[in-house]
Amino acid sequence: MTSSQQPGEDRAAPVAAPVDEGAEAAGSRTLGFSFTGRGPDYFRIWITNIALSILTLGVYSAWAKVRTRRYFHGHTRLDGASFAYTADPVKVLAGRTIAAAVLTVYVVTSFFEPAFEGVFWLLFLFALPSLVVRAHRFSAHHTRYRGLRFGFDGAYGEAARAFILGPTVAMLSLGTLIPWSECRRQRFVLGSFSFGTTGFTTEVGARTFYKVYAKSGAVAALVVAVSIAIGVLTTTVGEVALAGAALALSAGVPFVVATLRAGLTNELWNGTRVDTHRFRSTLSAPELGWIYLSNLVATMLTLGLYYPFARVRIARYRAEHMTVTTDGDLDEFVAAAHDDVAATGEEMSDLFDIDIGI
């Protein structure tokens, strides 16, 4: 490792995903995603974004957001082509200004009239589905691959059921329906995206989410049991017992989170396709847990300066474990999608194209 490299920065080029020879023999190709960004490069962007956001009292944060997304989109590649993010920072700033104005009205009004607080949260609850849909629509509209836009066609009613009704029912069930609610939410979001005029289809069921939650629960129970055991075995040492138990618990939490995230991500993407093109995610919970833990330790030891390297490291790992199996030539699919978009015309979304910051 050279002096300019950081943990997780030891590869000069992304590792190509394994190719399914049987699929290729049948006329298909398995294409791997890759992430070509580097920690030192993103560190310069990150530190500049922070400095300018502070100097401009937060105004530059809109440009910082767009600049960051452009970097991560531009360094994410599939079949030799990069993704692109085309949002206008001025519109992002407009959305944030509106959000800040609403928050200011809420704080001032609640201070002089406490009864308004309940009214505000009720209004926010009704507005939440629309805000979610607009945020995803903005992000999708400004994401492109080979010049073709993504889209998001989620409806208010579907968003209300996914983000309000589902969580409410899950809460009333004392948590037993959380996997079901999360499955509905994830299916709504991913299933509402489209590439050109071709929509995403998500077939994952709640049963698979319950299995993932059960597995993460078992890992959490194991972490707690190990922490208690360490505390019991070192009770004669006094403070060491508490410190050892706390350390074991802290080291185990990233693996619990990784088990849940890796499992849900794999199940969701493995059940998703665009037309006849299928995705496959192969995240490993132990590997992801180690990345989370080592990133956390390195970020704490460097007082936060390792954060950009940690983010690049996770982006690279996630990309290297995602593939898409194409039924035929991906170029032909993109070309056909371009023709469909040209035939239907571009939607006039730029008129109200404001990122509301969700």
Q: What is the pLDDT of residues 193-252, one digit of tens each?
A: 999 888 999 999 999 999 999 999 999 999 999 888 877 776 655 566 677 778 888 899
Could you tell me if 134 and 161 are in contact, meaning their C-beta atoms sit under 8 angstroms apart? no
CA distance 264 to 269: 8
CA distance 327 to 23: 9
pLDDT digits (tens, 9 = 90+) for 306-342: 999 999 999 999 999 999 998 866 666 665 555 554 4
Task: Enumerate residues 6+ apart whose C-beta is below 8 A from 117.
Answer: 106, 110
pLDDT at 236: 58
pLDDT at 350: 42
Could you tell me if 99 and 354 are in contact, meaning their C-beta atoms sit under 8 angstroms apart? no
Q: What is the pTM of this model?
A: 0.83
pLDDT at 234: 66
Positions in the chain short of pLDDT 50: 1-25, 341-352
* Residue 80, SS3 per DSSP: coil
Q: Please, what sign has the CA dihedral across residues 329, 335, 340, 346?
A: positive
Number of helices followed by number of strands (H, E) in the chain = 13, 10
pLDDT at 112: 83
CA distance 31 to 16: 9
CA distance 290 to 252: 10
If we measure between CA atoms, which residue out of 284, 292, 218, 283 comes closest to residue 250? 292
CA distance 273 to 268: 10
Q: Are strands 81-85 and 143-145 parallel, antiparallel or unpaired?
A: antiparallel
